């Protein structure tokens, strides 16, 4: 009788130990699964907003950053560059950005400068041509040049099929590109710091 009690007690001890060990494994496995289902840092970075310091972008120059694997141009326009936009209003296909390529144009960019009113000199645009996805080259110098009209006011030229865009990235009429280059959602965190991919309405 006492032997049976000792065996039962031994079995109960073994069972408790086994359950305890199983519980630890279960918790560990659960933690591993939770970790597995969380997005990797690379995945989060692929679509996360990008904060950019533009204090080094002098008037008349442009900075290129990457957002979602695409080049985003940040151009700080001079007063002369801004003034040139009005000269192009009759020449561009969609002066007020009523249409869009891949990203719906934010309301604050549906204007002649395609920028925020409080920082109208700063253009933020995805540097991809709306024709076949090539990346245009900057052609900021004005006047006659190869592959450009004699009355060129500065802008961008797509080397693939010749589409031209002004300094607000608006496509000129009768070009292969069907739409202006996209303006991504963005907001100013400070006068020289912007966040690309997110604005007051949330992330893109």
| Residue pLDDT, tens place only, 69-111 | 999 999 999 999 999 999 999 999 999 888 888 899 999 999 9
CB atoms near residue 42 (< 10 Å):
7
What is the per-residue pLDDT for 45? 55
* 49 and 132 part of one domain: yes
pLDDT, position 202: 83
pLDDT at 15: 38
Q: Same structural domain for residues 102 and 87?
A: yes
Q: How many domains does the chain have?
A: 2
Q: In this structure, are 179 and 155 located in the same domain?
A: yes
If we measure between CA atoms, which residue out of 194, 193, 158 comes closest to residue 177?
158
pLDDT digits (tens, 9 = 90+) for 125-167: 999 999 877 889 999 999 998 889 899 999 999 988 889 999 9
Q: Are residues 1 and 84 in the same domain?
A: no
**Shared-domain flag, residues 159 and 64:** yes
Helical (H) or strand (E) element with 187: strand 186-190
The answer on pLDDT for 27 being more than 90 is no
Spell out the residues 6+ positions from residue 109 whose beta carbon is closer than 8 angstroms to its own: 97, 115, 116, 183
Range of the domain at 26: 1-38
pTM of the full structure:
0.75
Q: Does the pLDDT value for residue 4 go beyond 80? A: no
Higher pLDDT, 157 or 2: 157
């Amino acid at each position: 009788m006492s032997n049976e009690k000792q065996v039962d007690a031994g079995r109960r001890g073994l069972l408790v130990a086994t359950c305890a060990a199983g519980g630890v494994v279960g918790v560990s496995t659960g933690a591993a699964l939770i970790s597995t289902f969380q997005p990797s840092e690379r995945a989060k970075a692929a679509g996360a907003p990008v904060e950019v310091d533009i204090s080094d972008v002098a008037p008349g120059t442009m900075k290129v950053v990457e957002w979602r694997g695409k080049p985003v141009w940040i151009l700080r326009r001079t007063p002369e560059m801004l003034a040139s936009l009005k000269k192009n209003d009759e020449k561009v296909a969609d002066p007020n950005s009523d249409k869009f390529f891949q990203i719906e144009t934010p309301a604050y960019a549906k204007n002649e400068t395609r920028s925020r009113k409080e920082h109208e000199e700063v253009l933020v645009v995805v540097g991809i041509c709306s024709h076949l996805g090539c990346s245009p080259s900057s052609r900021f110098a004005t006047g006659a040049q190869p592959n450009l009209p004699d009355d060129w006011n500065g802008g961008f030229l797509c080397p693939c099929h010749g589409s031209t865009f002004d300094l607000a990235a608006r496509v000129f009429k009768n070009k292969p590109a069907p739409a202006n280059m996209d303006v991504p959602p963005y907001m100013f965190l400070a006068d020289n710091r912007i966040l690309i991919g997110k604005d007051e309405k949330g992330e893109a």
